[in-house]
Amino acid sequence: MQGLFITIEGPEGAGKTTILQKLAEELEEKKFNVVLTREPGGIQISEQIRQVILDPNHTAMDSRTEALLYAAARRQHLIEKVVPALERGSIVLCDRFIDSSLAYQGYARGLGIDEIFTINQFAIQDLMPDKTLYFDIEPEMGLKRIEKHKGREINRLDLEELDFHHRVREGYKTLLKMFPNRIVEIDASEPFETVYMHAKRLVEEIIAKKDTLRI
């Protein structure tokens, strides 16, 4: 495909959404076609699935149901939004993708990284990101940031115990070892400008390797 598929990953409150928004604005100013989107969500059907998954009242949700719902939301979002954008030659910046399922459901919930990869393979049919930026942060620091973030809804996964959030981070560390060529780590505990400049430099390097992207 003509475009570039970049995903951004990390525990809660790492700064993914804020940095992606700024990056997208700057790339658009430089005349790139950018599609900024998120998972679960990004299109109507997947946003509705998101509400079901993340509703804090849904405490009875089974872990496998949760994993399948994330994969279903991913499938629809990929087919309706990501693939057409890549075919048009856009840069797709996606806030979370398959690695979230591998870290949260596969590792932290204990369902198994390989098992979760298999059900997701049915959903994505080999369409993996070109590059993934992993924002690393201590869960305590990330959770403190989202507590302070006015207007940020607290969802069902935010409410998991601290141990769960530590396992999520361990899960991501495992993925870094499994996919060393695709996933690159950024220290997200640094001040905002430092994290932003690091992410921006990496994205510019990725773009420079692909010369078909400018409008």
Ligand X SMILES: Nc1ncnc2c1ncn2[C@@H]1O[C@H](COP(=O)(O)OP(=O)(O)OP(=O)(O)O)[C@@H](O)[C@H]1O
Question: What residues form the annotated binding site for ATP?
Answer: 10-17
Q: Would you list which residues are annotated within the binding site?
A: 10-17
Taking CB under 6 A as the rule, does residue 135 contact ligand LXEULUCI? no
Nearest CA among 5, 19, 187 for reference residue 99: 5
Q: Residue 61 and residue 54: Cα distance in Å, rounded? A: 10
Work out what residue 157 binds among ligand LXEULUCI, ligand X, none; the CB cut-off runs from 5 to 8 Å by kind: ligand LXEULUCI
Taking CB under 6 A as the rule, does residue 37 contact ligand LXEULUCI? no
Q: Residue 112 and residue 103: Cα distance in Å, rounded? A: 9
Taking CB under 6 A as the rule, does residue 17 contact ligand X? yes
- In the structure encoding, which two tokens stand for residue 111, read together? 């369902």
Site for ligand LXEULUCI in 90-119 (CB under 6 A): 96, 100-101, 104-105
How many residues would you count in the chain? 215
Taking CB under 6 A as the rule, does residue 40 contact ligand LXEULUCI? yes
Work out what residue 101 binds among ligand LXEULUCI, ligand X, none; the CB cut-off runs from 5 to 8 Å by kind: ligand LXEULUCI
Q: Which stretches of 95-212 are DSSP H helices? A: 98-100, 113-124, 139-148, 162-178, 192-208
Taking CB under 6 A as the rule, does residue 13 contact ligand X? yes
How does strand 131-136 pair with strand 183-187? Answer: parallel
Nearest CA among 41, 19, 18, 7 for reference residue 149: 18
Q: Which residue is nearest to ligand LXEULUCI (CB)?
A: 104
- Which residues lie near ligand X (CB under 6 A)? 10, 12-18, 145-146, 149, 191-192, 195
